[in-house]
Amino acid sequence: MGRMIVILLVLFKVVTAQVKQDEWIDPETLKDDLVFSYQIVQASDSTIMDNIRDTTGLNIEDSIMVRRGYRVQIVSTQDVDQAEIVADRAMEFFNQPVYIVFESPYYKVRVGDFLSDLDALDVERKARQNGYPGAWIVPSDVNVPNPNRRYK
């Protein structure tokens, strides 16, 4: 019985024992190799414009930027010559930019640079009414005017 009390007492001491730890850090003894430098810049400083381009990925000197949008595909053919003929006619008829996209083995003729499918709907209807019954709206990367452009 006495042995049991001693064991319980030792076990109780072990469980409840706490060691005080010193968590204070002297900043002078830290080995920090980082050097901070600050530079005052003016609003007209060219480094600001360079940093804007680097951090956003926008080139503010370009007049065109690429965004997700829609085009109207009017023809898909394996004949590159036919695709070029259709593209030439489409450029005159639609008064929109025309692109030939090659996705093996097809050359696809696509019209326009539209940010919404509703904008592309008029061109799709016009194409269907004028000899392109298979015309349809396709999601695509489109070229649009760059609203962030800075003129020099």
Structure tokens at 117: 């499918």
Residues 6+ apart with CB under 8 A from 105: 78
Structure tokens at 61: 């000197």
pLDDT of residue 9: 82
Residue with tokens 């003729």: 109
Q: In 3D, which of 113, 106, 105, 107 has the Cα closest to residue 137? A: 113
Say whether domain 64-144 belongs to CATH 1.10.10.10. Answer: no
* Predicted structure pTM score: 0.59
Lowest-pLDDT range of 19-23, 70-74, 137-141: 19-23
Q: Give the confidence band of 60 by pLDDT, cuts at 50, 70, 90.
A: low
Q: In 3D, which of 109, 117, 118, 107 has the Cα closest to residue 139? A: 117
pLDDT at 37 over 80: no
State how far the Cα of 45 lies from the Cα of 31, in Å rounded to an integer.
Answer: 35
